[in-house]
């Protein structure tokens, strides 16, 4: 249903309610009382929508000002970004068949491309934070004067465990995305997760600051803003908690799109850590099987030697 049809229905309902009130109060035909009652009912209807948090995006809200219309350049950018990022809050969507078909085609092409872009940006972030982490560790190790276990530091190009001087090791290490070994640099989870958590807090503070109060409803507080940031960065996108003033702001979508690259850094760190753990378990299992195999063959040879000696 379009906005004009909805507006006509609302006007008819207000008109009928006002006429019933005039009839009950024996004031039929009084145009002044009619206009006053109609304004009162319209105002109270608005207050009801505000009390339920339904005013934003409602037909009444859109009728009041063209700035409140669902579709604009900003909301279009917001919709397109949330579509290809798979966040999809569900608070804005196409109502026409043409719009839905175009959305399907756009998402079919855009989602794979966006995954590639997020991965590439995530690799850049991973290399950047790895370089910073390496420099910090080198400086701290120089001051403390200790050596470290490579595998415990999660910077292991060598598959065997060994104790080396950390500064001598990192001098030889160059973080370059064109080098395969450099792409294997592992950023510890203890570093990547706090980075993502800090960025999530920054997003929550930004949403809380810019989401000013509108009408009787206040903007999102920090708790709800943090919840909104987490739901967005995790691509869950429930849409149950949304800002009011920056409801369809493209800056919000771009902010979380940037954050998805940081999520990719955490995913990469977790994947590499799980891969190392899995390969380590496989090597341990292979070593145990080899020892059992050698022991069995050794005992068999010993028994044969005993039989022959008698």
When pLDDT is cut at 50, 70 and 90, the band that residue 269 belongs to is confident
Give the pLDDT confidence score for residue 310 in this predicted structure: 57
Residue 30, phi then psi, degrees to nearest 5: -85, 105
**Angstrom distance (rounded) from CA 164 to CA 149:** 7
Give the pLDDT confidence score for residue 301 in this predicted structure: 56
Look at 9-13, 119-123, 206-210, 275-279 and tell me which has the smallest mean pLDDT.
275-279
Query: Which residues pair with residue 164 across a beta bridge?
Result: 148
CB 256 within 8 A of CB 83: no
Asked if pLDDT for residue 49 goes beyond 90, the answer is: no
Looking at the whole model, is its pTM more than 0.85?
no
pLDDT average, residue stretch 45-54? 84
Cβ within 8 Å of residue 215, ≥6 positions away: 50, 55
Give the pLDDT confidence score for residue 222 in this predicted structure: 92
Angle at 114 between CA 108 and CA 116, to 5 degrees: 110
pLDDT average, residue stretch 97-102? 94
Asked if pLDDT for residue 152 goes beyond 60, the answer is: no
**Angstrom distance (rounded) from CA 126 to CA 122:** 6
Domain residues of the chain, as ranges?
Answer: 3-68
Give the pLDDT confidence score for residue 290 in this predicted structure: 82
Give the pLDDT confidence score for residue 260 in this predicted structure: 93
Cβ within 8 Å of residue 265, ≥6 positions away: 122, 125, 126, 129, 187, 192, 195, 196
Residue 141, phi then psi, degrees to nearest 5: -65, -35
Cβ within 8 Å of residue 116, ≥6 positions away: none
Asked if pLDDT for residue 226 goes beyond 90, the answer is: yes
Give the pLDDT confidence score for residue 130 in this predicted structure: 83
162-180 tens-digit pLDDT: 334 444 444 444 444 444 4
**Angstrom distance (rounded) from CA 261 to CA 242:** 22
Query: Which residues pair with residue 163 across a beta bridge?
Result: 149
CB 2 within 8 A of CB 70: no
Give the pLDDT confidence score for residue 112 in this predicted structure: 94
DSSP 8-class letter at 66: G
Helix ranges (H only) for the chain are: 3-24, 31-52, 59-64, 73-84, 97-144, 150-153, 166-171, 180-183, 189-210, 222-233, 250-309
When pLDDT is cut at 50, 70 and 90, the band that residue 153 belongs to is very low
**Angstrom distance (rounded) from CA 20 to CA 122:** 64
Cβ atoms within 10 Å, residue 51? 12
Asked if pLDDT for residue 102 goes beyond 90, the answer is: yes
Cβ atoms within 10 Å, residue 5? 10
């Amino acid at each position: 249903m379009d906005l004009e049809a909805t507006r006509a229905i609302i006007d008819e309902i207000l008109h009928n309610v006002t006429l019933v009130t005039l009839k009950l109060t024996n004031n039929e035909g009084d145009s002044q009382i009619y206009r006053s009652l109609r304004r009162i009912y319209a105002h109270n209807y608005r207050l009801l929508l505000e009390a339920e948090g339904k005013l934003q995006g409602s037909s009444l809200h859109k009728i009041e000002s063209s700035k409140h219309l669902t579709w604009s350049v900003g909301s279009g950018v917001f919709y397109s970004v949330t579509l290809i990022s798979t966040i999809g809050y569900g608070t804005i969507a196409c109502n026409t068949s043409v719009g839905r078909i175009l959305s399907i085609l756009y998402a079919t092409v855009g989602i794979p491309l966006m995954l590639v872009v997020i991965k590439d940006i995530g690799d850049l972030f991973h290399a950047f934070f790895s370089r910073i982490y390496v420099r910090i560790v080198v400086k701290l190790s120089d001051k403390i004067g200790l050596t470290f276990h490579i595998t415990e530091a999660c910077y292991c190009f060598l598959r065997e465990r060994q104790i080396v001087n950390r500064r001598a090791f990192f001098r030889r290490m160059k973080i370059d995305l064109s080098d395969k070994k450099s792409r294997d640099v592992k950023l510890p989870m203890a570093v990547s997760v706090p980075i993502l958590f800090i960025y999530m807090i920054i997003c929550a503070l930004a949403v809380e600051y810019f989401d000013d109060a509108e009408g009787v409803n206040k903007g999102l507080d920090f708790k709800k803003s943090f919840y909104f940031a987490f739901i967005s960065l995790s691509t869950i996108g429930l849409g149950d908690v949304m800002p009011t003033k920056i409801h369809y702001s493209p800056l919000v979508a771009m902010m979380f799109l940037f954050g998805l690259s940081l999520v990719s850094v955490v995913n990469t760190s977790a994947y590499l850590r799980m891969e190392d753990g899995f390969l380590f378990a496989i090597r341990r299992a292979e070593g145990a099987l080899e020892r059992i195999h050698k022991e069995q063959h050794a005992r068999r040879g010993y028994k044969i030697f005993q039989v022959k000696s008698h």
